[in-house]
Amino acid sequence: PAPAPAQPKRLTFRAVNAAIAAEGIVAELVQGDGYLYFVGDDVEHADGTSVMVPRLNLFSLDRWLEEARSFKKQSDARKLPPAEVARIRKKFKPAAQPKLAQSQPEPAPAQADQSASSVGRKPILREAMDRFVLDLADLKGQALEERCTEELARMEHLKPSTRKGYIMRYRKAVSEAFGSDHPALSFLTATGLAQEIQNQPPKPPAPVQTVHTAISSSYKPPTRKEALAAFTVALRAAAASAQPGDAIEALWQREWASTAHLADTTRKLYVSKYYRPAAKAILGEDSPYLTMIAVPADMMDRINGDYRHRVISQNKTLIHVPHWRDLVDVASGVIRKAQGWTRLTTDQATQVAAALLLLTGRRPYEVISCGSFEPAALPGGAKGAKSKWSVMFSGQSKTRGREGTNFETAYEIPVLAPAPDVLAAFQKLRASPDGQEWQTLTNDEFSALTNSRGPDGVLAIRAVVTDLYGPLWPKEDMVFNRRANRDEVKVKGLRPLYAEIAYKFFSAPAISKNSFFATVLGHTAKDLETSLSYFDYYLDDTGNAATSGVKKIKNRIEQRYAEMETSHD
């Protein structure tokens, strides 16, 4: 028999989801924050679809197929069989044209009692809920969402407190009929009504409280995972509709409104970290509809204004780093010691990465995954001469290709240890087994790996940074990690400390401090606000290198700054 085709060395979501589809399972595997989970019609009734591993390649393709089959089996077992649907239809017998009170104001309690005792008031709310629950038995996907949206729209004329009470009654009816994990519950939410209720003018107490004004205090908005999963399903349906533009815009407006209870910065984070990546995976990187899924311009202006105020406040309280020379010695010692390591273990590779963070000032993702360091030529020197205190860096992240940044370009940066040692350590890191895998990670996969709470597959960069630099780091700049139950060094603090030390040794007289920071960190020469955000520390005034090699680097930095100034005039 012909041999089975070899499984690819590295799985992709496209390959896994294609295999799942080939099995006839209507579901997809997607990346969560430190875990993966399945979404789709064939798994929607399963009791949770999360797989608590941070990376796709920790499981084989066969294992992911087993997980998909298992969740489908759970979902099938919990689906309502035709006989149960018939039972529900028999149980719920709505009136011919059920509807909520639409144009008439709510009767006063006394009137309601009188009506009920004299002519027998029809249970309008009960009839509407019966009809709604009956409809849900045959709906899914976008049709389900539209039906829920329609029902909520019929309550718009009611007071916020009344609407909230009605919604809780609807949620209870759906849960009783179909279970507490039915997807309709993701749309039947009272998000934002609490604030509306608080803003209502006070009213005199009613002698009798009717069921229509009862408010449940146990309601909680859906979690981010639940909301994102429901949004993903709805977005697929909207993209496949006859008018995808209108459908996607309406969907996003509803989703954005559902986050109104969150802080502005949290909403911005959710859009950039969760909603837009999910939308790109469904719509494609170049889809024109992606522009709809964004933070409103007025909110971005407000967030940026708050950021400026924080930067100004931060620069009034700089932190003294008395042991900065010792910190550089620790990092330099690691890369020198790495020269004797033949095959880096995971811990050794992480130590080398932590050392390079301080010595080069680059971001963790740049050092470990996407960046590259090469020798820097020494202009005016002997043929083939290389700089001793600088390297060429490329692969800058976090710029999103903005004009004037160093996105997809190589530029010279000073280093705080001899360049040959830095380059040798970097090559050894990338050649290690872990390094080869790490450099294939996307930004989202890298974040999931470094932030994973699981015991396996964690890139423990924060723990290693703390172990290396913690004894010498200013205590007032450390943060308490509740999970680790100890004070830890902020990894992002290594970048501004590098800039401060580099300024002491490599600054040219013609360049201001904020412009120097912008130049060596890869920002625009006139990006004053961004450079100010790195003014976190101050050093002792003693010491300034004066070797000829350092002087040449100063001159080149000054020349590059002048070129950047000219290009932005």
pLDDT digits (tens, 9 = 90+) for 15-66: 899 999 999 998 888 887 667 888 887 887 776 777 877 788 888 899 899 9
pLDDT above 50 (res 374):
yes
Query: Over the stretch 514-525, which tens digit does the pLDDT of each residue have?
Result: 788 888 888 765
SS (H, E, C) 13-46: HHHHHHHHHHCCCCCEEEECCCCEEEECCCCCCC
Q: What is the pLDDT, as a whole number, of residue 524? A: 60
Helix, strand, or coil (residue 431): helix
- pLDDT: is 226 or 249 the higher one? 249
User: What is the C-alpha to C-alpha distance for residues 264 and 272, in angstroms, rounded to an integer?
Assistant: 13
Question: 322-336, 405-419, 429-443: lowest mean pLDDT where?
Answer: 405-419
Distance in angstroms (rounded) separating the CA atoms of residues 132 and 320: 64
Q: Which of the pair, 465 or 562, is modelled with greater confidence?
A: 465
- The residues near 565 (Cβ < 8 Å, ≥ 6 apart) are 525, 526
pLDDT of amino acid 198: 60
Of the pLDDT bands very low, low, confident and very high (cuts 50, 70, 90), residue 364 is: very high
Cα separations in angstroms, 248 against 48, 213, 232, 503: 27, 34, 11, 49
Q: pLDDT band for 348, please (50, 70, 90 cuts).
A: very high
Amino acid at the residue 377: A
Question: Residues 102-108: what's their mean pLDDT?
Answer: 42
| Percent of the residues in the chain that have a pLDDT greater than 70, as a whole number | 70
The answer to whether residue 213 scores a pLDDT higher than 50 is no
Given this model, what pLDDT does residue 444 score? 74
- Averaged over 169-181, what is the pLDDT? 82
Between CA 292 and CA 308 the distance in angstroms is 27
pLDDT higher at 450 or 479: 479
- Residue 409 pLDDT class (50, 70, 90 cuts): confident
Task: DSSP for 42-73, please give it.
Answer: TTTTSS--EE--S-GGGS-HHHHHHHHHHHHH
Q: What is the model's pLDDT at position 21? A: 92
3-state secondary structure 118-132: HCCCCCHHHHHHHHH
Three-state SS annotation for 397-414 = CCCCCCCCCCCCCCEEEE
Q: Is the pLDDT of residue 94 over 60?
A: no
Confidence tier at 122 by pLDDT (50, 70, 90):
very low
H or E stretch at 448: helix 443-451
pLDDT of residue 557: 65
Q: Answer with the residue of higher pLDDT: 344 or 106.
A: 344
Mean pLDDT within 521-543: 66
Higher pLDDT, 400 or 187: 187
- Compute CA distances 442 → 12, 30, 99, 353, 437, whole Å: 11, 14, 51, 17, 11
> Could you give the CA distance from residue 269 to residue 263 in angstroms, rounded to a whole number?
10
Inter-residue contact 493 to 318 (CB < 8 Å): no
